[in-house]
Amino acid sequence: MKRYETIVIIDPDLSKEAETPIFERLNVLIPQYDGFLIETDDWGTKKLAYDIKKKNRGHYVRLDFCGDGALIQEMERFFRIDDKVMKFMTVLLDENADLDVIKADLAEKAAAAEQAATAAQAAAEKAEEAVETEAPTENNEPIEAKKEE
């Protein structure tokens, strides 16, 4: 199986609701052709180097996936038909990608992210407890009032 990267430039004037069918179609199309979507990276709206379809900005999205030539042909056919897609480019990243290794890496990254989130939550709870148990000032007077005396 080969690993590909596709960068798609979508019309920036579309709402999120209008963009959703494009990615829903890709999420159905990739498994249909025995592919595996590794990552979808939304780069946001950026200025284009030159005008495309009389637009000077475009919404960039990067797709990292594994598949074969039939999948690429169908995806590019879909991009050519859809008027919301301004430009696209597919690049071969790895000729012989091992899907099991990629899935293991994804699981490892997810576990590390979950562990980091748990550690951050625990640190936030400790900080909150420290603030709650902080000793009150003497006679409950404001600190500024003590400085003036």
In DSSP terms, 8 is beta-bridged to 61, 88
CATH 3.75.10.20 fits 2-97, yes or no: no
From residue 28, give the alpha-carbon distance in Å to each of 32, 63, 66.
6, 14, 14
pTM surpassing 0.75? no
What are the tens digits of pLDDT across the range 5-52?
999 999 999 888 888 899 899 999 999 999 999 999 999 999 999 999
Q: How far is Cα 127 from Cα 123, in angstroms, rounded to an integer?
A: 6
pLDDT for 45 equals: 93
Q: Identify the pLDDT of residue 136.
A: 56
State the virtual CA torsion across 98, 99, 104, 108 in degrees, nearest 10. 100
Segment 56-71 mean pLDDT: 93
pLDDT tens figures, 87-144: 999 999 988 878 888 888 888 888 888 888 888 888 888 877 777 766 555 555 555 5
- pLDDT computed for residue 142 by the predictor: 58
Question: Which residue is associated with the tokens 């179609």?
Answer: 25
**CB atoms < 10 A from the CB of 117, how many?**
10
Residue 145 has pLDDT above 60, yes or no: no
Per-residue pLDDT reduced to its tens digit, 70-101: 999 999 999 999 999 999 999 999 888 788 88
- State the pLDDT at residue 148: 53
Query: Reduced to 3 states, what is the DSSP secondary structure of residue 25?
Result: helix
With vertex at residue 26, the alpha carbon angle to CA 108 and CA 92, rounded to the nearest 5 degrees, is: 65
The DSSP-derived string for 70-126 is HHHHHHHHHHHH-TTEEEEEEEEEETT--HHHHHHHHHHHHHHHHHHHHHHHHHHHH
